[in-house]
Structure 1
């Protein structure tokens, strides 16, 4: 199974890349965590934010695998306990489905991404820095996998 993290933004600080790599590396071959970076359009005072967000949405939607379950990460989504994520991951593994997780840019996800969503997940009611979201998601996917495999990491 493939879990594709499709995230707006590139050129992350080293600690973000290192944290993401650490948890994605720990996963077994039955769950591959793959990062797709969508370039963040340049924002300035005169930027047409709607146009930039539209372009990012087009690229995000194009990166979703055919038949993937699409999960958008957003504050208004449903909070999942780690055990609930493990249940969802187990169901996706059992069904043979791949999953695409979408993380928007500074203005959030475009409405087209939200319309394409099968599930909406909130990591927290807090607004989290987008680079940190990558590390948190990677860690939580690894933790969910460890629960499913009775690995001691979750204890």
Structure 2
């Protein structure tokens, strides 16, 4: 089983890229998170938010690993603690199916992607900038992995 992070937006601010890479490199080779980014749809030309989300959804679907369970991140998603996330990851690992965590663009995710998702999670009750969401997700995946490994990074 592999973990993937699919995200709209290819360029992060330097601080976010550095933070993301810091956590990503902590995983051992057999547990690396595979990052796949897709281009954000240009907001020019009077496009509606729905048209923008639909275009980004097509790019995300094309970038997604075949057969992976989609876990979309959405402020309306289900809350879970880090320990609960670790338990979910462990169960998904037992199932042997890749998991793709999906972060949408500035307008969010197309409703069809949210409807087709295996799970919908929220990282916070607050609306987060996408760069921060990406950093927070990789940190939480690392923290959950450390719990499953008995690593002392996470403390209760």
What secondary structure does 1:148 align onto?
A: helix
Matched with 2:89 is 89
C-alpha deviation, 1:19, in angstroms = 1.0
Matched with 1:61 is 61
In 2: Cα distance, 1:88 partner to 1:27 partner: 18
In 1: Cα distance, 2:64 partner to 2:115 partner: 14
In 1: Cα distance, 2:80 partner to 2:121 partner: 7
Moved >6 Å (runs of 4+): none
In 1: Cα distance, 2:50 partner to 2:95 partner: 37
Matched with 1:144 is 144
Q: Which runs of 5+ in 1 are unaligned?
A: none
Matches within 5 A, 1:31-50: 31-44=31-44, 46-50=46-50
**Could you tell which deviates more after superposition, 72-81 or 87-96?**
87-96
**Could you tell which deviates more after superposition, 43-52 or 33-42?**
43-52
C-alpha deviation, 1:7, in angstroms = 0.8
**Could you tell which deviates more after superposition, 77-86 or 91-100?**
91-100
In 2: Cα distance, 1:49 partner to 1:75 partner: 17
Deviations 1:72-131 (Å, cap 9, x if unpaired)?
Answer: 100111011000000011112222211001111111110121122000001111000000
Q: Scaled by the length of structure 2, what TM-score is found? A: 0.93
**Could you tell which deviates more after superposition, 59-68 or 121-130?**
59-68
What CA RMSD, in Å, does the superposition of the two structures yield over aligned residues?
1.4
1:79 aligns with 2:79: yes
**Could you tell which deviates more after superposition, 90-99 or 140-149?**
90-99
Q: Scaled by the length of structure 1, what TM-score is found? A: 0.94
C-alpha deviation, 1:30, in angstroms = 3.2
In 2: Cα distance, 1:153 partner to 1:110 partner: 35
Matched with 2:10 is 10
C-alpha deviation, 1:49, in angstroms = 2.9
